[in-house]
Amino acid sequence: MKKIILTLGEPAGIGPDLGVLLSKTSLDRNIVVIADPELIRNSALKLRQKVNINTLDNIDDKTISGKGCINVLPEILQVKNTPGKLNPKNSKYVIETIRKAAQFCINGEAKAMITGPISKSVLNKGGYKISGHTEFLADICKSESVMMLMNRQMKVALHTTHLPLSKVHNYVTKKSLIKTIKIIHTDLKKKFKIKYPKILVTGLNPHAGEDGILGKEDENIIKPTVKKFQNENIHIEGPVPADTAFLKKNVQKFDVIVTMYHDQGLPVIKFNDFKKTVNVTLGLPITRVSVDHGTALDLVGTGMIDISSFKEAIKVAKSICND
């Protein structure tokens, strides 16, 4: 059976701890972690947890299951890791775990990848100019991508992702918005088996521009783009003011709410249910799901971390893969 690949992200963060704690509850024999075995072993010692590390030579090797079991495909750290202290010298390690997981999926050797939290700043200091998993994986897969966060109550997709707010309006164009909505519509049908997706689109400006008084993008770009898809018999509405887009009636009516930028939509869904929210990358030829929290350096080794998002990410990945 094809595997699901886990990457643990930043080695100095809580990723290794998450792997250890997950092995106590959620890791079956079809889940393989790409990591340095010594990193996991040291994390287990710090957490005072017993783990049975099954080291693989390749992804098709025999795997094991059971409480405390973790199947590891080795990727060795560049330098010794100090828990809680970021080191740009280990950036290559982080990048390679992600790259290898993606390649296994692209090659059809794995059916999904689940990613742990990374530090974008330390990766950039290490010489890798990436703004996040979403964009990096799109480059690897040579495809367009859309970030969508989801929990059991709602789905929120972003038209733009990791951009300075001052630059967002430059990326709200008819061409780019058409591309975003097409990706969302296609993957809601393909990956989430929603036959007729219902999509709600927010405006860019306060009050969705107030008829052009507070900005022209809503009237001149977003509105005609939405109309184009309506003419194609796609169930889509907007632009609506972002401050009312997440009213209960809208969350219940629409399958996804599309926001124009990162902090327009994410605070709402994280407030709604931070622990059970996960990140799904749409548009890729592979399945990628991620936790929706950071590296939490201050919690490394404390055992006081919540594995709910990682457990939910595994559930979502399996659901997409029809497991």
What distance lies between CA 266 and its chain's CA centroid?
Answer: 12
pLDDT, average across residues 51-69: 93
Spell out the CATH class of 1-143+286-323. Answer: alpha beta
φ/ψ (deg, to 5) at 268 = -70, -50
- Strand 278-282 relative to strand 288-291, pairing: antiparallel
Domain with CATH 3.40.718.10 in the chain: 1-143+286-323, 145-283
Give the tens place of pLDDT for each residue, 125-178.
999 998 889 899 999 999 999 999 999 999 999 999 989 999 999 999 999 999
* pLDDT tier, 26 (very low <50, low <70, confident <90, very high otherwise): low
Cα 241 from Cα 24, distance rounded (Å): 45
- Please check whether residue 200 is in contact with residue 254, taking contact to mean a CB–CB distance below 8 angstroms: yes
Per-residue pLDDT, 16 = 96
Name the CATH code of domain 145-283 (choices 3.30.420.40, 3.10.560.10, 3.40.80.10, 3.40.718.10): 3.40.718.10
For residue 25, pLDDT beyond 90:
no
**Hey, is 13 helix, strand or coil?**
coil
